[in-house]
Chains A and B, each alone.
Chain A
Amino acid sequence: MTDIQQTVYVVEDDEAVRDSLELLLKSDGKPVKTYESATAFLKDYSDKMAGCIVLDIRMPGMDGMELQKKLNEQHSILPIIFVTGHGDVPMAVDAMKEGAVDFIQKPYREEALLEKIEAALEQDLEQRKSLDEKQEIIRRIKSLTPREHEIMDRMIAGQANKVIAIELEISQRTVEIHRSRVMHKMGTHSLAHLVRMVLSVKDLIDAK
């Protein structure tokens, strides 16, 4: 579990709002990085980023909603807090459906914003931790030989050793040897745990 520096990424087109928010967050002791447009942020974005995004929903050019979509396409897990103006509630609802963490309406109370940022950073940490775990599972799956991988898939599907042996036209003894290697490489003794592990990273593997 690597401890990455969490940063609050502020994407806001209004210079005064951007500047004041930067000062405010810095005075609260948080690392801040500001961007004047969604495009600028997208250029800078990498999956190494940790923390959260404070994103103005209404911006010229690419707006907040569009940036959210583009980040989703890149499987970003950075939590987004949308900052909305008057009358942007329907947009905010859409944003939430798209997976935003939260939204806050301008002009906002500083405490409320800081609370939401705290929660987002916490969520980011959790996600990252589970992601690290998942990355570890994936690393282990990748260490399997093609034959072991095939046998693991059949184990997860609930096939008995005998059936696997018949279908793959190998001896049952060979299946047992492969099976113990799979369990060893995957770092588990229980089939149930193995199934949970593999299922937990299913979406990540499918996405690749």
Chain B
Amino acid sequence: MTEVVSENSEVTVLLVDDNPQNLKVLYETLKDKGYRLLIANEGDKALDLAHRHQPEVILLDIMMPDMDGYEVCERLKADPETADCAVVFLSALDDLQAKVRGFSLGGADYISKPFQSQEVIARVKTHARVIRLERELQARNRELQGDQTRILNSISEGIYGLDENGVIEFANPAAAAILGSPVDAIIGCNFFEIHFAAVGEDTGGLPVHGTCRQGVAESQRNIRMLRTDGSGFPAEYRSTPKLDDDELHGAVVVFRDITAELESEAALEEARELVQEQRDQLAHASRLTTMGEMAAGFAHEVNQPLTAITNYARVSKRMMGKETPDLGLIGETLDKIEAQSHRASEIIRRIRRFMKKPATGKEIISMPALLEDTRQFAEVDMRNNEGGIEVAVPEGLPDVLADPIQVQQVALNLIRNALEATRSSGSATPVEVSASLVGSHCVRVQVRDYGVGLSADAEDKLFLPFYTTKDEGMGIGLATCRSLIQAQGGDIGFERPQDGGACFFFTLPVAGAEGAPCRPDNPPDTRED
């Protein structure tokens, strides 16, 4: 029986009869069936209760004083709150006329007096279920309708329903807001007229026209649409044909104002250009700094042999000024002069090779030669850090295509960092610089040190501009290095060696293997679209 209860729960049955005896019998019949029972002994009361409780089923006596059952039924059906109630007439008038009249007034059923309790129970149950299902269905419909309306209302894109001539049959609030007119005023207007100032039938070639007439879906970005006040706005739209059994009935248009989007796109583009510009400037500044540091280093370096030469020359003259000059000693001193002169010219040759070209073009570079040059550049740093550098390049390493100055700058930067890290840790192990072929079209250069190493959180930020782990670092170095290397079509990275220290590497494309850049699958922050 619980099933019955559960099925009947929430079902309200209103019993209306002017005869208390009848009411009692009906009440007794239905009381244990799980219904909520309401009782009224006259029409007014019945209407009041029905209005307040919206019973699913009303058992309604026809013959009542003041207001008979027919009138009550009429009124119930006239009140939207109670219109869906199932009215079951109760009457001793078991004639067709009475029944017909009852049905014509919206009655759902008819039970003749004296009634059988089983019949009453069965009928009430049936109608209760029907009404409940109906009500649920309506509730769902209302909900769906509500959802649809809410969706259409809340969508920020304008939506139109057009007929095949472009007459607007439906418009959502967003469409009205974009256009600048209330929804009511839009319905019935011609889409082509209000948005494109088209005159009459001259709509060929306009957006959405093809969808309305030929059923072809369209979508365009950055077209110009008009508002009611005649001003225009850039828009993006999609239109899809409205089909009903394969018959074309117009189009659904979804459109939006893209003014703000275009602005932010332009701003983004501008920002991108600015970033690129700043990157170039940074690289340039960094190059100048490197040049400046190198120039100072060179000047210092060239001064050493020159000073020595001057001193030796003086000494030689003095020796020659003696009564019995020691020719052997003078010869030795002259040999020293010659050696220092070679040393000076070697330094100058290196400077010229470095300064020979402005840092603009890529050229074919022999990696062993470039790394050897870089090692010599780093001699000042080596002395300053009391460290060593070992260069290891395998035989037959192919040449790469890159800007030699920029590559040298990057290599020098990594070597300097490595020397400093080695000194900081008090280690005496030399920095290992090596090159190798990766795949068929990439050369990888690696700078490995056995120094202080890097913390885990530093690893993620290493190549970000202005990030530094040094007390006096600017944080420009590695960010610039990345820009420079990526500009060569290569990549730069860091690996944490198992046995401590640090390992930085960069890759460069092998000469003649263009179109196969040495970049990771998803290079960071270099979207180009």
Contact = CB atoms under 8 A, between A and B. Distances in A.
Interface string B278-308: 0000000000000000001001100111111
B315 interface: yes
A8 to B, nearest CB: 13
Contact of B296 (A17, A86, A106): A86
Which among B309, B310, B383, B384 has the highest number of chain A CB atoms within 10 Å? B310
A116 B300 CA distance: 22
Contacts of B307: 17, 20, 106-108
Contact of A85 (B299, B308, B309, B318): B299
Given A16-B336, A19-B336, A87-B296, A110 B310 contact: yes
Interface stretch (A21-29, A171-179, A200-208): A21-29
Given A60-B385, A85-B300, A87-B296, A107 B315 contact: no
Given A20-B312, A86-B300, A106 B306 contact: yes
A41 B343 CA distance: 27
Nearest to A113: B311
Main secondary structure of the interface of B (DSSP, over half): helix
Given A27-B315, A60-B384, A17 B308 contact: yes
A182 to B, nearest CB: 56
Contacts of A28: 318
A149 interface: no
A16 B304 contact: yes
A106 B312 CA distance: 14
Contacts of B309: 20
Interface string B324-344: 000000000100100110010
B296, B303, B318, B383 — which one has the most chain A CB atoms within 10 A of its CB? B303
A24 B299 contact: no
B386 interface: yes
Contact of B303 (A19, A21, A60, A86): A86
Interface residues of B, number: 26
A107 to B, nearest CB: 4
B423 to A, nearest CB: 10
A27 B340 contact: no
Contact of A16 (B296, B319, B343, B386): B343
Interface string A53-93: 00000101100000000000000000000000111000000
A23 B312 contact: yes
Nearest to A20: B311
A136 interface: no
A107 B310 contact: yes
B142 interface: no
B386 A61 contact: yes
Contacts of B299: 85-87
Size class of the contact patch on chain A: 20 to 34
Contacts of B353: none
A13 interface: yes
B288 to A, nearest CB: 16
B384 A17 contact: no
Nearest to A24: B311
A20 B308 contact: yes
Contacts of B305: 16
A14 interface: yes
A171 B310 CA distance: 75
A87 B307 CA distance: 16
B319 A27 contact: yes
B224 interface: no
A108 B343 CA distance: 19
Nearest to A87: B296
B24 interface: no
Contacts of A27: 314-315, 318-319
Contact of A60 (B311, B312, B319, B386): B386
A110 B343 CA distance: 21
A23 B333 contact: yes
B315 A20 contact: yes
Contact of A58 (B300, B339, B343): B300
Nearest to B329: A23
7 contacts: A14-B308, A16-B336, A20-B312, A24-B314, A85-B300, A85-B303, A110-B314
Interface of A: 13-14, 16-17, 19-21, 23-24, 27-28, 58, 60-61, 85-87, 106-110
Given A16-B308, A17-B307, 11 more contacts: A16-B340, A16-B343, A19-B336, A20-B309, A20-B336, A27-B314, A58-B300, A85-B299, A106-B306, A107-B303, A110-B314
Q: Which 5 A-B pairs have the closest CB atoms?
A: A20-B311, A16-B308, A60-B383, A86-B299, A20-B308
